Amino acid sequence: MQKRSLFKKIYDAVKLIPAGRVTTYGQIGKYIGCSAKYVGYALSSLNRSDVPWHRVINSKGRISIKNIEGYYLQRQLLEQEGIIFKEDNSVDLEQYIYKFDNIEHNILE
């Protein structure tokens, strides 16, 4: 699969995540059929504002952005959607996780 086509599938999957919910790089990778690392690479290459990139976090419920400004931007966007961070700066995945289990794979074809 070409990089551009895979990026589009990743971005389309991210668009499915409703406001007030998050998913992990790994969940998207599992759904699309690529690695979590590749999902992170695709999102770091994003230059479009119509993809809610901020709803994707790591498997520990944490924001992965190392840049402090990017970290606080992502956190602010999530908090504006009603997501509450725990004392350890993580999100309760049991409460907020969005899984792609009930969505047909052909939605992205």
Question: pLDDT (tens digit, 0 to 9) for every residue of the chain, 109 residues total?
Answer: 576 789 999 999 999 999 999 999 999 999 999 999 999 999 999 987 899 999 999 999 999 998 999 999 999 999 999 999 999 999 999 999 998 875 655 445 5
Read off the pTM.
0.89
The domain tally of the chain equals 1
Residue 92 makes CB contacts below 8 A (sequence gap 6+) with: 61, 84, 86
**CA dihedral in degrees (63, 61, 82, 98; nearest 10)?**
110
Residue 31 sits in a domain whose CATH number is 1.10.10.10
Structural domain for 61, as ranges: 3-108
